[in-house]
Structure 1
Amino acid sequence: MPAPFLILLLCLLSSLAHTESFGGKIINGKSAEKGSLLYMASVQLNGVHKCGGFLISPNFVLTAAHCDKGDNMTVVLGSHDLKADKNIQRFNVKQKHTPNGFKDVNTGKDIMLLQISRKVKSGKTIETVKIPVKDKSVRANSKCLVAGWGAVQRGGQSVTDLQVVSVSIIDLKVCQDEWSKINQKLPANVICAGGYKTKNGACQGDSGGPLVCSGLAVGIVSFNLHGNCDYPNVPNVYTQISKYLPWIKKIIRNNS
């Protein structure tokens, strides 16, 4: 086998074992009902949807740290349909906050607070979502939901209508064991849900969106197996919000 071809083959095989951050698809979901999920945000780069996010206070949106690509970032609120809705409100990002030491999704701390340019008044099209008030694990098999914009199948065309799907929490030890089978160690402070033993889950484009259980946002979409959204496979991975409560509260307190 020629040396250049062998090197290319080895690189390809190696890449298949790596994780990849989500970019906005919901797999096997449905269109969100009008008037629901009013906390959902579209985090956009140069006016194009890049990631999900969610409003947790009048002027702060939570999303994933890996969504920051350094481009012109804005936040869109008040919309289920990013093209057709008349209630869309666009906000400039005044400041970005990420934990010290964030490098990439593989090492964890994949959480970012966006301070938007003006405070939002809750109403018929926009509202905040509650987050935990103390550090507490989420019970395995709890029924939750994840939502986002994008294609509804791997390799499909993106959609502008907000999609939502039901997922179940996966025991963390089970999740760690499944990821270890492909030689991937999970970072600290994560929750697992969807993808594993089910055809439901998130995919490229849903990064930064919330994992919501019983009306409480407990996780942030972080990563899955390298670009493979043909579930079932290893579980989807989310940043656990309750592990970062002191950091979140300090930033909001100092900037509100």
Structure 2
Amino acid sequence: MMHAVHDLMFLYLLTCLGQNGHGSEIINGKNVPQNSMQYMASVQINGKHVCGGFLVSEDFVLTAAHCYKNSPMEVVIGTHNLKKVNNNKMRYSVKTCKHPQYDKAESGNDIMLLKLSRKLQLDKKVKPIQLARKEIKAKDNVKCQVAGWGFTETNGKAVDVLRWVDVPLIDLNVCKRKLKAKVTLPKGVMCAGGSDTKNGFCQGDSGGPLVCNGTAVGVVSFNIYRNCEYPNWPNVYTDISKHLSWIKNILKKKQC
């Protein structure tokens, strides 16, 4: 749902690799009910949505490292409708904390914390989400969703109201086999949706959470060919459980 902004060199690299750009929108989804998913955040540059994110503490939002641009970034928290933003209460400037080993999404470690300029007030509209403490596997048969403000079809338009969709987890070995001819999956990722289903993410959903049983287990990273006409290729997420120690260390120190 979120329309990710990519610099030209990165787009060119992705094209050469045959990858669908980082971030995407929600495909075949529906509007998120009010007073739910209170952890969702819109990552913005110059007042425009570029990626998704999600609140993990009173001080930090988690998103994808590829969402970083060499421009001041902000987050909007506390609304599902990006046309209804109280800038004094909902908009925060941030300090970016990219994973130190991040290079590009297809190499892994596509994860970034954003430190809020001020501690936010938690209420019925704003609440952090719990992070997965261990790896979630397809055989666990859990119910998962992905949400965002991205496109709703290939080459479509971003939306103002947050949308979500159910996506099935894909066994990592199956995912590797399906993507073998397109990309070699790095360590620390997981796959869900996009393959053998009409549901998944598209341009603009980068950095948003993959949520299973109310717990954030993944971060939207990339898909293939910038094509959201599923089913085709699995969607790839950063596995939060594989980066939990890095996340907890920053949250504890309250700085990068």
Same-fold status (TM-score > 0.5)? yes
Runs of 4+ in structure 1 over 4 Å off? 85-88
Contact 1:24 1:50 in 2 (8 A): no
Structure 1 gaps of 5+ residues are 1-11
Aligned-partner Cα distance in 1 for 2:101–2:24: 26
Report what 1:89 is aligned to.
90
What pairs up with 1:101-140 in 2 under 5 angstroms?
101-133=101-133, 135-140=134-139
Report what 1:208 is aligned to.
207
Counterpart amino acid of 2:137?
V
SS of corresponding position for 1:244: helix
- Stretch moving more, 21-30 or 112-121: 21-30
TM-score (norm 1): 0.89
Q: Give identity over the alignment, percent.
A: 49
Aligned-partner Cα distance in 2 for 1:151–1:206: 8
Contact 1:143 1:168 in 2 (8 A): yes
Aligned-partner Cα distance in 1 for 2:183–2:151: 27
Aligned-partner Cα distance in 2 for 1:221–1:204: 10
Structure of larger gyration radius: 1
Report what 2:3 is aligned to.
none
Aligned-partner Cα distance in 2 for 1:102–1:80: 30
Alignment: residue pair count:
241
Contact 1:21 1:207 in 2 (8 A): no
Report what 1:67 is aligned to.
67
SS of corresponding position for 2:231: coil
* 1:16 to partner: Cα distance: 6.6
Report what 2:197 is aligned to.
198
What pairs up with 1:141-156 in 2 under 5 angstroms?
141-156=141-156
Report what 1:8 is aligned to.
none
Contact 1:225 1:234 in 2 (8 A): yes
Structure 2 gaps of 5+ residues are 1-11
Aligned-partner Cα distance in 2 for 1:158–1:216: 26
CA RMSD of aligned residues (A): 1.8
Contact 1:78 1:89 in 2 (8 A): yes
CA-to-partner distance for each residue in 1:94-123, whole Å, 9 max, x for gaps? x21122221101100000001001111211
CA-to-partner distance for each residue in 1:154-205, whole Å, 9 max, x for gaps? 122221000100001000000000001x241101111100000011000110
Counterpart amino acid of 1:226?
Y
TM-score (norm 2): 0.89
Report what 1:173 is aligned to.
173
Aligned-partner Cα distance in 1 for 2:194–2:63: 21
Report what 1:30 is aligned to.
30
Report what 2:5 is aligned to.
none
Report what 2:6 is aligned to.
none
Aligned-partner Cα distance in 1 for 2:150–2:213: 24
* 1:234 to partner: Cα distance: 1.1
SS of corresponding position for 1:26: coil
* 1:85 to partner: Cα distance: 5.1
SS of corresponding position for 1:50: strand
